[in-house]
Amino acid sequence: MKLKRHTTNPILLPDLTSEWECYNVFNPSVIYHNNLFHMHYRAQGLDWVSRIGYAVSEDGVHWNRMRRPVLAPVDANDSRGIEDPRVTEIDGVFYMCYTAYGREYQGNGDPTHERGGILPMIAHSDNLITWERLGPIVRGEDNKDHVLFPRKINGRYAACHRRWPNVWIAYSDDLLAWPDAEMVPIYGPRLDNWWDSKSVGSNGPPIETEAGWLVIYHSYNNDHVYRFGVCLLDLDDPTQVIARPQEPIFEPLELWELRGDVPNVVFSGANPVVDGIVYVYYGGGDHVIGLTTCRLDELLDFALNG
């Protein structure tokens, strides 16, 4: 099974008139709320510092965006940028998971980021525009690609995060304290597999189905080519992987995915389901934003039988 690219791709480009988003717009989050698509995306401008922009759409393809960012650096923890948002609605409140890129190296993680500290942060909002920072899931290590489950599991908040090179799970009673002793790995690279042999990380929020939590994830191999895969986790105990097909469902093919600011990258933080269709929004080449789709029932069937 392969995701299908939208015919109008790319759907969002840098704004050449803007100081803060004139170079790159990429790695979006999209949530469907009150019959509108709400996008939060990573943007880079003249200073190369990442900020979070906001756009809204009726059809998920054509967007109206704000002229200012909704989240920008405020201190040493995020002075180098705010990256890769993932928004989840839980009990009427919106929560944004994002990566804070600061000045101090936090630990021995992915060597790609050894020049600066990385924190997996959470913020919350009542209106998708004004955000209040809550804090990180962990400190003292290079950790990112975190995303909240869209409801509590066994009465607690749950989040996937990337303790390199695997996807781990964390639990919290209040979104402030995430006991390290309860963090366990869920799945990781498959060394005998050609496309996800180096590192894995979460995409958008897990999708709840009767069969389990349907998770779209990204991975790369020794050639550093990013692709998407899918797996299915148990509803009550997401540490249990029910199914994980061998084949990827998406890979860079278009010129703007293969080259871009960073080559061979497709990266997503969004997979809202609207009228039975999964809308997978992604950054192509760390430069522009694209859309690819599939039917939810077909994706679930592939996860179980692929």
Res 115 pLDDT > 50? no
Q: Which residues are 36's β-sheet partners?
A: 33
* Angstrom distance (rounded) from CA 292 to CA 7: 9
> How many C-beta atoms surround the C-beta of residue 229 within 10 A?
25
- Percentage of the chain beyond pLDDT 70 is 96
Q: For 133-156, what is the mean pLDDT?
A: 95
Res 105 pLDDT > 80? no
In angstroms, what CA-CA distances link 36 with 15, 32, 221, 274? 22, 6, 36, 10
Q: For 263-267, what is the mean pLDDT?
A: 98
For residue 302, what pLDDT is reported?
A: 98
How many distinct helices (H) and strands (E) make up the chain? 2, 22
Res 139 pLDDT > 50? yes
Q: For 86-94, what is the mean pLDDT?
A: 98
pTM of the model: 0.95
For residue 108, what pLDDT is reported?
A: 46
Res 106 pLDDT > 50? no
Omega before residue 10 within 30° of 0, cis: yes
Domains of the chain: 4-305 (2.115.10.20)
DSSP per residue, 156-210: BEEEEEEETTEEEEEEESSSS---GGG-EEEE---TTSSSSSSEEEE-SPPEEET
Question: Whose CA is closest to 5, among 219, 287, 280, 248?
Answer: 280
Q: For 54-71, what is the mean pLDDT?
A: 98
Question: Whose CA is closest to 41, among 75, 10, 12, 61?
Answer: 12
For residue 113, what pLDDT is reported?
A: 44
Res 98 pLDDT > 90? yes
pLDDT band at 104 (very low <50, low <70, confident <90, very high): low
Q: For 284-289, what is the mean pLDDT?
A: 98
For residue 131, what pLDDT is reported?
A: 98
Q: For 66-86, what is the mean pLDDT?
A: 96
* Residue keyed to tokens 């890979």: 251
In angstroms, what CA-CA distances link 134 with 73, 131, 265? 14, 9, 30
**Quick one: DSSP state of residue 153?**
B
Write out pLDDT tens, residues 16-62: 999 999 999 999 999 999 999 999 999 999 999 999 999 999 999 99
For residue 110, what pLDDT is reported?
A: 47
Res 267 pLDDT > 50? yes
The SS3 assignment for 236 reads: coil
* Angstrom distance (rounded) from CA 249 to CA 276: 18
Q: What's the mean pLDDT when you consider all of the chain?
A: 95
Q: For 87-95, what is the mean pLDDT?
A: 98
* Angstrom distance (rounded) from CA 107 to CA 139: 9
- Six token digits for residue 136: 């990180």
Write out pLDDT tens, residues 202-247: 999 999 999 999 999 999 999 999 999 999 999 999 999 999 999 9
- Six token digits for residue 17: 């008139």
